[in-house]
Structures are given as structure tokens and as C-alpha cells.
Amino acid sequence: MSNQFSSTGTNYSRKKDYASSKQKKKAGITILILFIIIILPITLIISQSLRLVHLNYQLEVLENNLSELQSENRELILDLSSKTSLNRIERIAKEDLGMVEAESVTRLALRDGPAESEIQYASNNQSDWLSSFWHGVQNVRAATLE
Amino acid sequence: MADKYHVIIKERIKLFFIFLLVLLMILIGRLVWIQVLQNDYYGSMALNQRVRDLSLETNRGNIYDLNGKELAVNKKSKTVIAFPEQINDPANVASLLAGVLSIDEVNIRRRLKRDSFLVYIERKVTEEQYREVEELNLPGISYIYEDERLYPQDNLAGQVVGFAGIDNYGLEGIELSYNNELTGVPGRTLQEQDAVGRSIPDGIMDYIPPQEGNDIFLTIDEVTQYYAERELERAKERHDISGGSIVVMRPEDGSILALANKPDFNPNYFSEYTQNNWRNKAVQDSFEPGSIFKIFTAALALENGYYDMNDYFSDPGHVNVGRERIHSWRRGGHGWQSFRDIFANSSNPGFVKMGLSIDSDEYLDGLRSFNFGNKTGVQFPGEASGILVPGQYTDIEQATMSFGHGLTTTPIQLATAVAAVANGGYLYEPRLIDRIYNKEEAEEEIIEPKKIRQVISEDTANKVIDLMINAVATGTGSSAGIDGYLVGGKTGTSRHYGEEDRYDTSFVGLIPGDNPELLIYIVLYDLEDENYYASENVVPVFNSLAENLVRHLDISTANQPFPDINIPEKNITIENYKDRDPKHIEEALRNRDLNVKLIGEGEKILAQTPLPGTIINEESTVRLYLDNEYYESKKVVVPDLRGLSAHKAEQRAWRFGFKTNGIISGSVQSQNPSPGERIDIFSSINIK
């Protein structure tokens, strides 16, 4: 009887242990789920936020750099403009390079090309694109030779 | 005993908890007071600590020439600032700063003692100056960046561009007249910042972006402007003058390629110059134009039909108008001259006769239509309008105005009016701005040429251009010619009133003469050289400038070296048209290539000039009087008949509406009234 009892008691204890470990397991899973549901998003949000802060500071630094570069660019344009001023160019040309102004200028009036009547056309009866190309080549030659 | 002890402890614990409760209640009360009742007050205090309301500076627009060369730009400069609260010994700091800055010690000390968070010490200092300030290593002294206006071309077009003051507000020139376009709209930002002044992400943010100022592109061409200024500088070295102005314009649309003046100034250091140097004299000052004005007298005489190209004039050396005697610049006069010749030789008596022939209302209206006496509308501050009619207006005023005296004009007015002749008769508003670039919208607005009105017909314009070409080919402007180009032009010299030996000399030239692409107007002020004729001083300036500009602007050469002006002699005998129908006679005469001027209104012709029997050439004028009011009191200049045969003397007198008395053999020795007198029309001249 007592053995029976004890055996029953043991079974009961085993059952109890089993139930307890199962509960613990459940609790662990619950905690894990809670962790995943609550802590992980919070961690993610915080890390994103920190990343955002960091990027924002980087952006500010880059904006400052851009502003400085723009300012530098403006100064370079200004410098270029001053250095290419006609007054300066003339002064350097005369004083440093010893250049002098031309005393007289001779102009040659050239026509744009020979007059139509001066171009000698070769006789050509063909009417396709090849003939028109050849016609053009001949015209150029005739004009060049004039 | 133990129970009693427990009771005491319990009581004390109870008291302690009551005390804590009261304390908690007080704290809660305080919390409610701060967080709920005083929420707004403390909330705003906290916000003010973190949030910065900053004004965002905008960039003033740049000014460029036609091809994008920078004439006015911005640069970031350091402004020295101080935080008075951080400065323990203001006197010592002021003394040290005064040693490196251009501001005096007393002034700095006064600023440092102000009850302000921040004060300006000196604005927009140079890098070298700030480096010296930095080396002093003074606590409470720092800098901020501010935009500084710079003019990289220095003096070039300085009077056109003008300048902006320390606050970047335009004070002169285009900087002033286009200040609203150039100035952008400052922005504003509201930022929540951390302890070291960095923006807090996701903090309170508000941002109104600044709107940048628009860029302005002038019609001024840097190279043309440079040549013009250089020629003026050289003229100053060669001649005794106070300065000069040059306007280079495209007559087709009134675009100004150069607007140069001497003396000038460097806008980077504008405060070091006098206001006289700042003045854009070509726009802001007026002067007597002299003989250049004959262009407009001729244009109005031709336009209103008073004269035509083959009419003749007598220049005996002077002409009397009332009690005044007006002389020709050449002693003894130019004699018997055609319309072309009196223009080419710039004969004052010839132009007095022409001017006095024109109805005064028609003459003044015509000049007003050319914009004389009015502003041209060029977008430039302080434009002068000149004076067309100073007060009373009688024959003497009209006579002197006909050759450019007794009135004042600005160089820009004259150039614009001559451009109207050069482009076929259309008056344009002078165009100084080519386009405006809006950086915000990335849009470019072209400022289109503005045609005001037609002032003369194309036919008249061509005739006047013909006169100007002839003046350069054979007359007072002959040294203005350029090889390979047909040049039209007119000289002008005016003596200062009350100053015997001081002159303003000027020249206006058109290139190419037959199809003007370029107009160059030059005036030299207060010339005191012995040789004051324009051909000796201003024409060489034109010649040198034009030589450079035809090359730089690629102006086409002449199609022909000189236009054919050989006038065919076509003898037409004038008949007696008295009592005939004016319409029929006009038609008949016009069919014979004669110019007809009907004077007054009426059904019949009452009188005429030339008198019947006069032989004239085509393109001469026949005046038909329809109302006796117009000729009964009319005075006409007596021509010079001396040295002519009886027949020729009679013909010349008839042409002008006079009869001759006296029988002569050989040539006329003397005449009464003498040449240059003005007597009643249709009266007689006694010849011996």
C-alpha cells in the first residue's frame, strides 16, 4: 500500500515536475515573444533614431562643406574675372610682353565665294542621288580652282 | 513595555508617512503649478532656450555684360563682432583693435560698452585685417560672414553698373534702378538645437527658403565698352578737356553696346571719389548739341515737305534775325549751296533759312516726337530730360535751334534720336538690359526692344542718311572715313554761353552708312584747345574707335565705295499758277518729280515760289500759298546776287520769291538789301 502510495506519489511528483518545466518553458517563450514584440522594436527604433541623428550631423557638416566650396567657387570666379579684365591684359601685353599697337590696319575684302556665273558646271544628265553628290563635288572643285 | 515601545514606533512611522504625504502633496501641488497652471510660461521659456529663429541671408543677383562677363558679383567677407558681456577690459580691447582696424578707438570703446548681446565692430574687413585681429587672441571678439559686393572689372562701365552700399542696397546706376530685381527675399528658419548649437533631428523645424536675387545681363558689350573708355582716356591725354561721353548703339533696336564717360570711378572704392565721377553724364547731364542737331532740322524740313534734296541755299557768311546776326563758321560763308552741301559744310545761315521756313508748331512737335525735352525711358536713375524750349519762343529761338543752339539734350537722347533716322524712322527706347535671369524659377526673361513711335518716313530717313554719308565723304566729317566702309556722320561744335574759349565738340557716325548696323556718338566736354573744330579732336576719336569696333563686331564692309550722287540736270521751267486749282497743280508738279508744299488752306493758289519763269531741277520745292496770311508778313533771307550776271541774279532772286530792280551790263556789283538781311517775300532787290 505504502509502496503503491509512494509509487503514486512519485508519479505525481514527476507529473508536477513535468508540468512545472513545461510552464517554465512557456514562460520563457512568452518572455522571448514579449522581448521580440516590445524590446526589439524599441531597440530598432532607438538605433534608427541614433543613426538618423548621426546622419543629420553628417548632413550638417556636408552642408557646411558645400557652402564653403560654393564660397570658394565664387572667389575663384571673381579672381578669374579680375585676371581676365581687358585693362590687365593690355597692361601685361604692353609692359611685360613689350607688345605695341598696330599703327595701321590693312583690310582685304573677300567675297564669301565665287559668283554663280563663275562656277563651271560639268555636263551631267544623271538624276539620282549619286549624280547630285558628284555634281556637288564637281562644283566645289570648279569653285576652288577659280 | 514592549507593546508600548511598538506603539511609539507605529506612531512615529505614522507621523513620518504623514510628513511624507504632506511633502508629496506639496510636490504634487508644485508640479501642478509648474506643469499645468504655468505651462505656457515655462514651456515658452524652455522653447526659447532650445529653438533658434534665424534669418537666412539671400544672395544679391549678379550683373553681367551681354556675353556673361561679371560686372558685379558677391563675395563672403568677415565682419568683426564683439560680445560685450565677455569683455572685461573694453578700453584695452578697443586700443588693440584700433591698431589693426580702420575704425577709431573711441568708437570701438563706445560700442564695447553697449548693453547688447552682440555688437558690430567693423563690417566686411579684408582677410589680412581679420588675420591681424585673430592674432590678438581677444576673448569676446569673433566674426560672422556677410555678403560683400565686388566689381571685378574695376572702372569698366562703373557709371552704368553703379554701386551698392554696406547693406547691399543699390545706391547708384543699375544697382539702384534694378535694386528690387537684384535683391532677393531673405528666408527664415526655426530650429531646435542641442547644447553645442547643432540641429536636433525631428526637433521643431520651420523653414522658409530665401529667394535669391535675379541676375541681370546688360546690353553692354565688355570689349566695346573697353574700347570706348580707352578712346576717351586717350582724348583726355591729347586735348584740354574736362571729360567726355561715348554712346555705342545698335540703331535697329536701340540696344546700347557701350555707355562710357570720363572722368570715371572704381565702384569698389566709390567713397574715395566725388559725386562728379559717379555721374553717368551720357544720361544724367545735358548740353548744347550744336550742329549735330541739323540732322533733325533737315529731317523735319524734308518730312514736312518744306525742302527737297535739290533745293538751294545762299550762305553769304551771316544772316540777320531780328536784331541778332548769326554767322557762318567760315568767314564769308559757303556761297550758293545745295541741300547736301549746306549739311556737309554745316552752314548756319543755310539752316537758319531752313529752320525759319518750317511752321513753329510743326517744328516743335517734330522735335518732341524725337523725344527732345523728354526722358528717353532708359531704365537709369536720374535721367535728365534736357530743355527744348527754355521760355519765350520767337524767330530767334527757332533760328538758333535749327543749328543746335538755345536748347539742351543728353547724349543718350541724341543717340536715340539719330538711331531713329538710321533705322528708317522708328524711335526706340534705349535698351540697357538684355535679359533677367530668375535663379529660383530657372527662367530667363528677355527684355524686348520697345518701339515708341514712327517719327519720320523711311524715305525721309534715307535722304538724311544720304546727307550724313555726303558729310563724311566731302564735308566737315571727312576725316571720319574708314577704308572699305561707307560711313555717315555729322559733326557738332558748340561754344559755352558767356565763355569765349570753351567748347563742347561732338560727332555722330553711322557704320555702314548705307545700312547702319552701328551708331557711335562721341562728345568731348569743355574743350579749351586752340583748334576747337570737331574734325581736329572728336573725329579722330571716332575714327580710332570705329576702326576697332568694325573688326570686333564684324561689321560688313561697303557694297560700294561711295553712293552715286551725281544729280542729273533736268531743267524744269516754273509757270504761273496763280488762281489755279492747287490739287491739280500739285499733281502735275509731282509728276514732274518736283516737291510741292501747300501753305495754308484755300480753293485757289494766291502766290508761289519760285516765281514764274524760274528754271529749277527735279527734287526741288515749289511752294504754293493758298492763304495770304501766310505770306503777307513772311520774311525771307536775301540771297547773295553779287558777281552774277543779270540773268543768273534774276533766276536766283526769283527762286527765293524776290524780284530784281535795275539794269546792269556784266555782273552785279552791289545789291540792296544786302545778302543775309531778312525782308518781306515778293519784295524787290535793287541790283547795280
pLDDT at A124: 46
Task: Please answer whether residues B419 and B254 qualify as being in contact, where contact means their C-beta atoms are separated by less than 8 angstroms.
Answer: yes
- A55 and A92 part of one domain: yes
Instruction: For chains A and B, count residue pairs whose Cβ atoms are closer than 8 Å.
Output: 51
Determine, for residues B70 and A77 on separate chains, whether the beta-carbon distance falls below 8 Å: yes
Q: Please compute, for residue B678, the number of CA atoms within 13 A of its CA located in the half-sphere on the CB side.
A: 22
- Pick from B447, B422, B442, B521: nearest CA to B219: B447
> Mapped to the 3 state alphabet, what secondary structure does B1-31 carry?
CHHHHHHHHHHHHHHHHHHHHHHHHHHHHHH
How far, CA to CA in Å, does B374 sit from each of B328, B408, B497, B504?
A: 30, 11, 23, 22
Q: Checking phi first, is residue B377 left (phi over 0); if not, alpha (psi -120 to 50) or beta?
A: left
pLDDT of residue B155: 94
C-alpha cell at B572: 524744269
Q: What is the DSSP string of B239-274?
A: S--SEEEEEEEETTTTEEEEEEEES---GGGGGGS-
Residue B522 and residue B505: Cα distance in Å, rounded?
Answer: 8
Q: Tell whether A107 and A77 lie within a shared domain.
A: no
A87 inside 8 A of chain B by CB: yes
* Predicted pLDDT of residue A127: 52
Short-list B365, B371, B340, B368, CA closest to B354: B340
Contacts A53 to B, Cβ<8 Å: 201
Sign of CA dihedral B464, B470, B472, B478: negative
pLDDT of residue B204: 63
Distance in angstroms (rounded) separating the CA atoms of residues B63 and B220: 11
Which cell numbers in the block locate residue B291?
550742329
Question: Which residues in chain B are contacts of A52 at CB distance < 8 A?
Answer: 201-202
Count how many domains chain A has: 2
What is the tens place of the pLDDT at every residue in A99-138? 998 877 776 666 666 555 555 544 444 455 565 555 544 4
Same domain, A39 and A95: yes
Same domain, A61 and A91: yes
Q: How many CB atoms lie within 10 A of CB B415?
A: 29
Do residues A51 and A114 share a domain?
Answer: no
Question: What's the rounded Cα separation, in Å, for the pair B81 and B297?
Answer: 64
Residues of chain B neighbouring A103 (CB-CB closer than 8 A): none
Residues of A in contact with B153 (CB under 8 A): 81-82, 85, 87
Question: Which residues in chain A are contacts of B154 at CB distance < 8 A?
Answer: 85, 87
A82/B198 Cβ within 8 A: no
ipTM over 0.85: no
pLDDT of residue A11: 67
Pick from A56, A87, A109: CB nearest B199: A56
What is the bridge-based pairing of β-strands B678-680 and B635-637?
A: antiparallel
All domains in chain B, ordered by first residue: 222-552 (3.40.710.10), 572-687 (3.30.10.20)
End of a domain among A101, A120, A135? Answer: A101
Secondary structure of B552-593 as H, E, C letters? HCCCCCCCCCCCCCCCCCCCEECCCCCCCCHHHHHHHHHHCC
Contact check, Cβ <8 Å, A86/B223: yes
CA distances from B375 to B61, B257, B346, B507 (A): 27, 20, 28, 21
The string of DSSP codes covering B308-344 is: -TT-EEEE-SEEEETTEEEE-SSTT--EEEEHHHHHH
C-alpha cell at B129: 585685417
Contact list, B551 vs chain A (CB under 8 Å): 105
Which runs of consecutive H residues, i.e. helices, occur in B345-491? 348-357, 360-369, 395-402, 411-422, 458-474
Residues sharing a CB contact under 8 Å with residue B344, sequence separation 6 or more, in sequence order: B467, B470, B471, B473, B474, B475, B476
Of B124, B145, B135, the residue nearest B99 (C-alpha)? B135
Is residue B239 within 8 Å of residue B524, measured between CB atoms?
A: yes
Only one residue has cell 503777307, namely B632
Among A54, A60, A85, the residue to mutate for chain B (most B Cβ within 10 A):
A85
Choosing among A105, A110, A112, which should be mutated to test the B contact, i.e. which has the most B CBs within 10 A?
A105
Vertex B394, ends B389 and B398: CA angle to 5°? 65
Q: Which amino acid is at B555?
A: I
In this predicted structure, what is the pLDDT of residue B134?
A: 87
Are A97 and A107 found together in one domain?
no
Pick out chain B residues at pLDDT < 70: 1-2, 195-199, 201-205, 558-568
Residue B428 buriedness (CB in 10 A; 0-12 / 13-18 / 19+): buried
Of A56, A78, A105, the CB nearest to B150: A78
pLDDT tens digits, residue range A12-56?
Answer: 667 777 778 888 888 888 888 888 888 888 889 999 988 988 888
B286-297: b (≥16 Cβ within 10 Å) or e:
bbbbbbbbbbbb
Question: Is the Cβ of B149 closer than 8 Å to some Cβ of chain A?
Answer: no
Q: Give yes or no: residues A18 and A74 share one domain.
A: yes
Quick one: CA torsion of B74, B77, B82, B86, rounded to 10 degrees? 120
Measured CA distances, B533 to B232, B297, B411 (Å) = 17, 21, 19
Q: Is residue A88 located within the same domain as residue A116?
A: no
Residue B412, φ and ψ in degrees, nearest 5? -70, -35
Compute the distance between CA of residue B274 and CA of residue B159 in angstroms, rounded to an integer: 12
- Chain B CB contacts of A93 under 8 Å are none
Q: What was the pLDDT predicted at A137?
A: 47
Contact A107 B222 (CB under 8 A): no
Residues 43..62 of A with a Cβ closer than 8 Å to B: which?
49, 52-53, 56-57, 60
Which runs of E-coded beta strand occur in B529-683?
572-573, 595-599, 607-609, 615-616, 621-625, 635-637, 659-661, 671-672, 678-680
How many Cβ atoms from other residues are within 10 Å of residue B176's Cβ?
A: 18
Closest residue of B to A75, CA-based? Answer: B75
Residue B531 to residues B37, B333, B382, B437, B528, Cα–Cα distance (Å): 94, 19, 34, 49, 8
Q: What cell was used for A45?
A: 527604433
Contacts by B230-237, CB closer than 8 A, 24 or more apart: B230/A90, B231/B522, B231/B541, B231/B544, B231/B545, B232/B260, B232/B261, B232/B262, B232/B541, B233/B262, B234/B541, B234/B544, B235/B262, B235/B524, B235/B537, B235/B538, B235/B541, B236/B262
**With an 8 Å Cβ cutoff, is B196 touching chain A?**
no
Torsion of CA B331, B336, B338, B341, to 10 degrees: -20
Per residue in B365-385, pLDDT tens?
A: 999 999 999 999 998 999 999
Same domain, A95 and A126: no
What does the DSSP 8-state code read for residue B408?
Answer: B
**According to the model, what pLDDT value does residue B253 have?**
95
How many angstroms separate the CA atoms of B101 and B95, rounded? Answer: 10
Q: Is A90 in the same domain as A125?
A: no
- Using the Cβ of B584 and the Cβ atoms of chain A, whether some distance falls under 8 Å is answered with no
Helix B348-357 and helix B294-303, axial crossing angle in degrees, nearest 10: 40
8 Å CB contact of B551 and A105: yes
Task: With beta carbons less than 8 A apart as the criterion, state whether B69 and B224 touch.
Answer: no
Q: What residues pair up with B493 in beta bridges, in sequence order?
A: B505
Residues of chain A with C-beta less than 8 angstroms from the C-beta of B201: 49, 52-53, 56
pLDDT recorded at residue B142: 85
Q: Which chain B residues contact residue A56 at CB under 8 A?
A: 199, 201
Alpha-carbon distance of B347 to B334, in angstroms, equals 7
Nearest 5°: phi and psi at B204?
-65, 130
Partner-chain residue, chosen from B70, B75, B156, that has the shortest CB–CB distance to A75: B75
Contact of B223 with chain A, judged by CB distance below 8 Å, is answered with: yes
Contact flag A87-B551 (C-beta cutoff 8 Å): no
Q: Are residues A124 and A92 in the same domain?
A: no
**Among B435, B390, B420, which residue's Cα sits nearest to residue B510?**
B420
Could you report the per-residue pLDDT of B180-203, keeping only the tens digit for each? 999 988 888 777 777 666 667 666
Of A49, A74, A87, the CB nearest to B75: A74
Q: Is A12 on the interface with B (CB under 8 A)?
A: no
Identify the domain containing residue A85 by its residue range. Answer: 1-101
Question: Could you tell me which chain B residue has the CA closest to the CA of A56?
Answer: B201
Burial status of residue B663 (CB atoms within 10 A of its CB: 0-12, 13-18, 19 or more): exposed
